[in-house]
Amino acid sequence: MGVEVEVRNLTKSFGVQKIWNDLTLTLPSGEVSVLLGPSGTGKSVFLKSLIGLLRPEEGQIIIDGTDILQCSTKELYEIRKLFGVLFQDGALFGSMNLYDNVAFVLREHTKLSEPDIRKKVMENLEVVGLIGAEKKLPGEISGGMRKRAGLARALVMDPQIILIDEPDSGLDPVRTTYISQLFMDINAQIDATMLIVTHNIAVARTVPDNIGMLFRRHLVMFGPREVLLTSEEPVVKQFLRGSKIGPIGMSEEKDEAQMREEQAQVDAGRPDGGVDDFVGIVPQMEPSPGMPHRTAVDRRRERVAEILHTLPPAAQEIIVEDFADAGMPGYERHSDAHYGSDQYDADRHDDQYPQEHDYQQDGAYQQDESYYSRETGDAYADGSADEPPTLVLRKDDGQTVDAGPRHGYRDEQGAPRDDRSEAGGSSDWR
């Protein structure tokens, strides 16, 4: 299993230019993480800092219990053996064929015999689908094949941490999907800690367990995918849509006047250039059939469940629905839910809701005047083909509290209404 990478209060500058300041995050062991950010925000600098190629002025980088900014050169050399690195362009030796490129690391850093080296090289070339191409030179193969050869070389030392810099660079969308699938399969097999630096929105949405975002010399957010994909943080939302609307501009930052002008253009009906808004959490890519189950998914969801009550109500609702779809124990869809216009104030963001809720018990409706607390209760999502999905809350005593619709409301006569503005529903609900 991969090892945890802990970064504390990291600061890096080149001369008077500060790259990032007070950067703190933890890459959970055995999980796939993605680091996003506009060009020039120091993502590749961060990768180089993790393996000791660059030295930040302040902070700590703790890998397998060792702070690499304080350790000796000998200790750093041993720590580096935990890493495998896939560089942006593959970084293959042009005068060596693919076999020798992959074997190079083993010949330099181990005392294996040539038969043993051949066995490991061919095993890893098979993992990345390059059996039969081992005698080709890098100049004789496509960019996608060079990426896969670079990945085979990164894997040949059985790393516990894999760093991947812009894996989609130079690849078409289809090949990017294939190499992303390869990352998931590798993680399922060896449970390595993986960090991917990318600009690719599809990769960011579908591959990682955790997502981080660098902007304006700071780490804006880092956390489980469920949290980032439901976040209303403007820079995160803008980046994941690829939209002009938001704080990121052509020169990274934009002023308030430009933001107002761009918003006015969108309000006037001009497209903002981004992809369509997506509702809910985009399904995560799974390992190929026949691969082991990714235990990283279970660990991540357990962490999310622990912090669920601290998230905004709209995010809680979406995450609960995702957990229910995934079949997580304790999260289920309740097909018999009913709702009324007065049952739930969707705009309330305080911890307790002193309202009268209807709940169903043994087929009969009863009134309950007690308080429902988000701090102690569990949330469940429900939906059916006939009515809009409904958020269902379950009280501590196990009784179901009907909390209101997911995509619709009822008017004063109890008839379903889909127009939220006319029905008086919250415009924040998606």
pTM: 0.73
Which amino acid, 421?
A: S
pLDDT at 274: 58
Which residues have C-beta within 8 Å of that of residue 232, sequence separation ≥ 6? 312, 314
Q: Which domains does the chain have, with CATH numbers?
A: 5-229 (3.40.50.300), 313-423 (no CATH)
Show pLDDT as tens, one digit a residue, over the chain (430 residues): 789 999 999 999 998 888 998 999 999 999 999 999 888 888 889 999 999 999 999 999 999 899 999 999 999 988 998 999 998 777 889 899 999 999 999 998 889 999 999 999 999 999 888 999 999 999 998 888 888 899 999 999 999 999 999 888 877 888 888 889 999 999 999 899 999 999 888 899 999 999 999 988 899 999 999 999 999 888 888 888 787 777 777 665 666 666 666 667 666 666 666 565 566 788 999 999 999 999 999 999 999 999 999 999 989 989 999 998 888 887 876 443 433 333 333 333 344 433 333 333 333 333 333 323 333 344 434 443 444 444 444 444 444 444 433 333 334 444 444 443 333 333 333 3
CB 241 within 8 A of CB 277: yes
Record the tokens describing residue 223, joined without a space: 């956390």
Task: Report the pLDDT value the prediction gives residue 266, as an integer from 0 to 100.
Answer: 66
Determine whether 26 is exposed, middle or buried from the number of CB atoms within 10 Å of its CB (0-12, 13-18, 19+): middle
The first and second tokens of residue 91, run together, are 């970084």
Strand order in the sheet with 5-14: 17-27, 5-14, 58-63, 66-67
